[in-house]
Structure 1
Amino acid sequence: MIGGMTDDPFALFERWLADAKAMEPNDPNAMAVATVGADGQPAVRMVLLKGHDQRGFVFYTNLESRKAGELMANPRAALLFHWKSLRRQVRIEGPVSGVTDAEADAYFATRARDSQLGAWASDQSRPLDARATFEARFAEVAERYRGGPVPRPPHWSGFRVVPERIEFWQDRPHRLHERRLFTRNGGNWHEGYLYP
């Protein structure tokens, strides 16, 4: 323990996430995911963290989306949690792997029915001529699965970011912030500080 805080980055993340759930007005599990395209162009977007443990940080998406294509071509990502009410950030970087079908099925089953139907109706990230087109597709899918369960689409699954680097940033007066950096070397974590 350093300064009354754990030297385990996963335990520290769990504590900070619990604080965010108690303080943030909306989506304390929201995180930015940064990827890089084949042309070297970075892209970033907000998604929701749907699982985390010692293996990594999990989110779900359409596998035909831009982010999924970039992750499959270049399986590395950076994540950023920003909890404004707590004046904290967590930055995570590392390689990416797909979740298992069993994990994707289990999470998909917990989604609201309209979210399940939307996963079938949406060609995520591709051009849409009019909102009415999407709404018509949604209605068709709703009719197809009326009265029964909605299975997980084959083009919908999740990714796990396996952290090699986790930085915990805490606001301090006069911009004298605290930055704790954990880096993984093999199976071991090493801790240090960064200048603000």
Structure 2
Amino acid sequence: MKTADLAANPRAAAVFHWPALLRQVTLHGPVTELPPDEARGLYAQRSPNLRAVAWVYEELGGRALTGPDEVRAAFDRQLRRDPAEPPPSWVAYALRPDRVEAWWLPADAGVATRVRFDRDGGEWARRYVLP
């Protein structure tokens, strides 16, 4: 499970990809578990589909699945239910990046530009790297 992985190694990455703009940003850094009140607030802001997915994880646990039909049935059940409260296992994390990488391609599809920002303490250092 993702939460067990984060408990063992509290680092994560997030990727924001804009294919239409030929751009991408990747964030890397430590994560911290948010307090339960804050986690519940974030759950409430999620779309009904994402709330249903949270409950599907709870319902199916880590057991082996029989196939996509089982997942679809569980998803449909939870979507109709749309509970206001998160499942008991619901945990939210905050990512505090210590590295940010951005790359973009020029309009003529030439060589990509890639820049990396690394945080050392409170200061950010910028350097260009090969794509």
Smaller-chain TM-score bracket:
0.7 to 0.9
Q: Tell me by how many angstroms 1:193 deviates.
A: 1.5
Look up the match of 1:103: 38
Query: Which ranges in structure 2 are unaligned for 5 or more consecutive residues?
Result: none
* 1:127 paired residue number: 64
Partner of 1:166: 100
Q: TM-score, normalised by structure 1?
A: 0.53
- Aligned residue for 1:156, secondary structure, equals coil
What does residue 155 of structure 1 align with?
Answer: 89
Q: Is 2:124 the counterpart of 1:195?
A: no
Q: Which has the higher helix share?
A: 2
- Tell me how far 1:155 sits from its aligned partner: 0.5
The CA deviation at 1:79 is 2.5
Q: Cα deviations across residues 118-158 of structure 1 (Å, max 9, x unaligned)?
A: 42343365422353587369648966x8xxx6211121122
**Match of 1:13?**
none
Q: Are the aligned partners of 1:113 and 1:150 in contact in 2 as well (CA < 8 Å)?
A: no
Structure having greater relative contact order (Cα 8 Å, sep ≥ 6):
2
CA distance in 2 between partners of 1:151 and 1:194 (Å)? 45
TM-score, L = length of structure 2: 0.74
Q: CA RMSD in A?
A: 3.0
Tell me the percent identity.
Answer: 34
